[in-house]
Amino acid sequence: MIPEAIYYFTSHELGESDLAMGVGCMEFVDAAASGVLYTCDPLGSACRHMLVNSVFGLGSYLVEGELTPDVFHISREDGSILFESRADKPVQLRMA
């Protein structure tokens, strides 16, 4: 368990029997591209637009920070691309 979780449980006098677990199952697909959508730009202000980061192949390299992703700023109003930056992605992760 991570230190913050241990602190939360001990400071609220909770025990193991109070711990609930959720499990989600998704189909694993051999993706041509993967991405993360932020409904509010985490580096921007006032949620004026959405942000998409993407890489070719499976998304592990993206979420682990192994590759610099393509970046798209998307309009909340009409879904148009307000800004895009394409990164060099020399590798991609694929299913075996």
pLDDT in tens, the chain (96 residues): 678 878 888 888 887 787 777 888 888 899 999 999 999 888 876 788 999 999 999 999 999 999 999 999 999 899 999 999 999 999 999 998
How is 6-73 classified by DSSP, letter by letter?
HHHHHHTT--GGG-------------SEEEEEESS-TTSSTT-EEEEEEEEB-THHHHTT-SPPEEEE
Contact 63, 42 (CB under 8 A): no
pTM over 0.85: no
Query: What residues does each domain of the chain span?
Result: 22-96
- In the CATH scheme, what is the code of domain 22-96? 3.30.470.20
Dmax (CA) of the chain: 50
